[in-house]
Structure 1
Amino acid sequence: MSSTVEIVRTPDVLHGKPRVEGTRIGVFTLGAAAEGGATVDALLDDYPALDRAEVEAALDYYDAHPELMDYIRMQKETRKQEFAEQSRAPTAES
């Protein structure tokens, strides 16, 4: 278990989105899961590479930076929409 938990942003990992240091587990991923009802214990089960302090630090960071998390959420939705528009798969309207 780490004594100091760092949330870091580096351009070459997760496109610079905040993550738990030493992992590729994004703060947004954990925070969005918690918003969806996941508990810290459930997140620990889902991400066994993390310890409780890391999960709690990520959730604290998520809560402390709502503008950044909204921006990441918007990016994800935009990307999702772009993929849907580029898809040749049949849709409900087809």
Structure 2
Amino acid sequence: MRTTVRIVKTPDVLHGKPRIEGTRVGVFQIGTLVREQEWFVEDAAAQFDLDVSQIRAAVEYYDEHPELMETLRAQVEARQQSIREP
């Protein structure tokens, strides 16, 4: 039996950022690893103890929402910058 992997956003988990349903693993985190750092889908699945189908769903969502991913990237960079500043 095949189950559908859902990407969800809920305000009380990961500050409302998209994630794989039933986990606290964010789409941005997975997409960045697979698309930008060139991780294999299977390696990401093993790292996060997820199914390959969950990783693929996250990467698909990442690819289909480039504007949102750029917003999330800007937030991460701003947060990192604020930590570096005295």
TM range, normalised to the smaller chain?
A: over 0.9
Which residue is 2:47 aligned to? 46
- After the TM superposition, list the runs of 4 or more consecutive aligned residues in structure 1 that deviate by more than 2 angstroms: none
CA RMSD, 1 decimal: 1.3
Q: Deviations over 1:49-71 (max 9, x none)?
A: x1111110000000000000000
Question: Number of aligned pairs?
Answer: 85
The structure with the greater share of residues assigned to helix is 2
Counterpart for residue 25 of structure 2: 25
CA deviation after TM superposition for structure 1 residue 2, in Å: 6.1
TM-score normalized by the length of structure 1: 0.86
Structure 1 counterpart of 2:38: 37
- CA shift, 1:4, in A, is 1.0
The verdict on how the C-alpha distance between 1:53 and 1:81 changes in structure 2, with shifts beyond 3 A counting, is same
TM-score by length of 2: 0.94
Larger radius of gyration: 1
Unpaired segments of 5 or more residues in structure 1? 87-94
